Structure 1
Amino acid sequence: MASHRRPKQRSFTGSTARTAATVAIAGAASVSMFGESGQAEPRLTTGQAKAKVDSLYAEAEAATERYNGAKEKADTARTRIENLQDELARKTERLNATRDRLGSIATAQYRSGGIDPAVQLALDSNPEDYLARAEFVDQLSGRQSAALRTLASEQREIKQVRSEADDKLATLRGAQNELRTQKRTIKAKLQAAKEVLDRLSAAERAAVTAADGSTARAGRASGRTALSGDGPAAPSERAARAVSFAYSALGLPYVWGATGPSAYDCSGLTRAAWRAAGVSLPRTTYTQINAGTRISRSQLQPGDLVFFYSGVSHVGLYIGNGQMIHAPHPGSPVRIAPIDQMPFAGATRPV
């Protein structure tokens, strides 16, 4: 009869055990240092690191503008839902008052000898169904008929309000899902950029930061404004105010989704600047580019909005001499930079 015992496992002793342990440690180290593929991630040059970080920041900013759009949509839907709820409460109150009037008519008829079948039917059925039976309407007095028609109209209005509220609630939920998605995307891109920077030496990180463009200047402390005559003159008083506001924001931190007053993202800054000039701009880059007169690069004047990348995901405020003030990305505060720093996508002059 064949034996079913498991074969005895061979034990390692002496030099064999030490060799096995060494191989195991080396294997673990290779996974830790080289990843699953066993290949070390190549070290990036400063230029390569900057290109990678710039790409990640651009992707994060595109997601930020989608986040801003979804937030605006959610806020609008939420406000409309609140208004509809108030409207529904008022209409329901009026509906109940109309029902009370019909109830009073029925009570009076009962006391005088019985409820008119037409009134009874009106109270027991849907007013719209009842009104469809025209022969019964004729049996009611003018007061009764008016109350019933009011009741039917009020019910139709309530139905419409509830339908719109349901639609807005669906819009709100969709926008909230979009917010969550874009928030995850933004955080992932920024974390990836941080990991690239963390692999650089302090000197290399400083070089990448310096390559961001002009350093932020304390515009508020220096007193330089578009109204002081320092730089090209703005074409209008409003444009001058927008540029002045942008100068006053120099040095403030970039925070995605921020609209001021202590931090901004790119479209939040341009919107705030023109709001200070009495002009209301939409929230996102891809809507701001259509909020005014489109102009060519050769027509740029201080106060114009300049847009970048094929997806129109970044915006700055032009201040003349090929320069703009913009909120670049996390870690880089509001600053002055050349407009040829990024791929130019178009320009708009707010009106």
Structure 2
Amino acid sequence: HQGRGSMTRVSLLLTTVVLSVLAPAAPRALAEPSPAEVEQQLSQAWQKLEPVIEQYNKVHSELLANQRASTVLTKQLDPLQRRVDLSLGQVGDIAVRGYWLGRASAANALLASGTPQVMNDRLAMLEYVARQNREKVAEAVELRDSLIAQRGRVESLIARQRRMDADLAAKKKLIQGEIERLEALRLRVYGPVSSNGSLRIGPCPAVSAGGAAGIAVRTACAQIGKPYVWAAAGPESFDCSGLTQYAWKAAGVSLTHFTGAQWRETTPVARADLRPGDLVFFYSDLHHVGMYVGNGLIVHASRAGVPVKMARLDTMPYMGARRP
């Protein structure tokens, strides 16, 4: 479902983001920016970058799905091709025999001793055998051609998405370079201070849960302290949708590594009905997701330079919740 127009829109979005993020700041006096100013820069940069990261995740997930579909179609096509070749060979033999023997067979049917009904029956049988062979081959060829067309469409889509995937990956260094620059600035302002003490702001999970949700939420909590790496889905590092995918995979539930897909793949839940394990989504374009762990708290992979941590539900613009 990603066409050339979609590729162009995402490419333009990425170019706009990179240019806006990498644009040099206005010259400052000799004064170093304050910690609050650095945090504001980081936050503003990240609000531009994370939607692009989730677009990357979307394209990459679709690429993997279509590669799997192409493999399945290819496996189906091979034995079918053998069936068609066999059928065509049989038809060739029938055609040769019909050329040499067809007239004689018809004549034999007409001249054979017996009643006119026997003669009609023999002629009908000859026509039936010929028709059955034609129908058999036509059906096999039609199915083969359908599979070839499907595989062609899938492979065309994969080729387009691979180009898009490569284009996004090529700009990864620019994006990562800007984040590292901001993190270096932050380190210069704050100094080498560890923030591990603030990663947990209460017990995790805050409320006990059983079943699959319990497994998912305990898995998410166990990742606290691991680094944020964009497009990563564990086990050593995560981005936001990679963390929720990883946690629910441990509970036997498959989610796509993309916030938009996770929103669609799950069931709506009212804010008043939130339970540990539910996915909570933030910002109008749903570009950020975390896992609810009870008592108004979430676990999420927030941004580069910040490990997986707990946070309060109301610290970001809440858009809705879903239950796998």
**Fold conserved between structures, TM > 0.5:** yes
Q: Gaps (5+ residues) in structure 2?
A: 1-23, 106-123
State the distance in 2 between where 1:325 and 1:45 align. 28
Contact 2:39/2:186 (<8 A) preserved: no
> Which residue does the alignment assign to 2:302?
328
Q: Deviations over 1:36-93 (max 9, x none)?
A: x9x7356533212211112222332212211111112111111111222222222221
State the distance in 2 between where 1:76 and 1:181 align. 19
State the distance in 1 between where 2:289 and 2:104 align. 72
Which protein is bigger by CA-based radius of gyration? 1
Deviates more, 1:63-72 or 1:142-151: 142-151
> Which residue does the alignment assign to 2:12?
none
The one of 44, 60, 80 aligned to 2:49: 60
The one of 17, 37, 40 aligned to 2:27: 40
> Which residue does the alignment assign to 1:121?
none
Contact 1:197/1:205 (<8 A) preserved: no
The one of 91, 105, 114 aligned to 2:94: 105
Shift of 1:247: 1.7
Q: Deviations over 1:319-347 (max 9, x none)?
A: 12332111122222221222233222222
> Which residue does the alignment assign to 2:65?
76
| Alpha carbons of structure 1 residues 317 and 145: separation in structure 2 relative to 1, 3 Å | same
State the distance in 2 between where 1:310 and 1:342 align. 11
> Which residue does the alignment assign to 1:195?
181
What does residue range 1-351 of structure 1 map to in structure 2 within 5 Å?
A: 40-41=27-28, 43-109=32-98, 112=101, 141-200=127-186, 202-204=188-190, 210=195, 215-216=198-199, 226=205, 231-234=206-209, 236-350=210-324
Task: Say which SS state the counterpart of residue 289 (structure 1) adopts.
Answer: helix
> Which residue does the alignment assign to 1:25?
none
State the distance in 2 between where 1:115 and 1:186 align. 76
Contact 2:290/2:299 (<8 A) preserved: yes
- CA-based RMSD of the aligned residues comes to 3.3
User: With structure 2 as the length reference, what TM-score do the two structures score?
Assistant: 0.74
Contact 1:323/1:339 (<8 A) preserved: yes
Contact 1:232/1:319 (<8 A) preserved: yes
Shift of 1:206: 5.2
State the distance in 1 between where 2:235 and 2:104 align. 68
Quick one: which amino acid aligns to residue 164 of structure 2?
A: E
State the distance in 2 between where 1:263 and 1:252 align. 6
Shift of 1:312: 0.9
Quick one: which amino acid aligns to residue 78 of structure 1?
A: Q
| Alpha carbons of structure 1 residues 115 and 178: separation in structure 2 relative to 1, 3 Å | farther
Deviates more, 1:242-251 or 1:190-199: 190-199
Percentage of matched positions with identical amino acids: 28
Quick one: which amino acid aligns to residue 176 of structure 1?
A: R
State the distance in 2 between where 1:177 and 1:115 align. 62
State the distance in 1 between where 2:247 and 2:286 align. 19
| Alpha carbons of structure 1 residues 86 and 79: separation in structure 2 relative to 1, 3 Å | same
State the distance in 2 between where 1:199 and 1:225 align. 32
| Alpha carbons of structure 1 residues 108 and 334: separation in structure 2 relative to 1, 3 Å | same
Shift of 1:112: 4.8
Matched residues, number: 282
State the distance in 2 between where 1:205 and 1:170 align. 51
Task: Say which SS state the counterpart of residue 142 (structure 2) adopts.
Answer: helix
Contact 2:291/2:300 (<8 A) preserved: yes
Task: Say which SS state the counterpart of residue 298 (structure 2) adopts.
Answer: strand
Please state which structure has a larger fraction of its residues in helix: 2
> Which residue does the alignment assign to 2:109?
none
| Alpha carbons of structure 1 residues 83 and 291: separation in structure 2 relative to 1, 3 Å | closer
State the distance in 1 between where 2:278 and 2:41 align. 29
Task: Say which SS state the counterpart of residue 291 (structure 2) adopts.
Answer: strand
| Alpha carbons of structure 1 residues 304 and 113: separation in structure 2 relative to 1, 3 Å | closer
Deviates more, 1:183-192 or 1:104-113: 104-113
Contact 2:233/2:243 (<8 A) preserved: yes
Shift of 1:155: 1.7
Task: Say which SS state the counterpart of residue 166 (structure 2) adopts.
Answer: helix
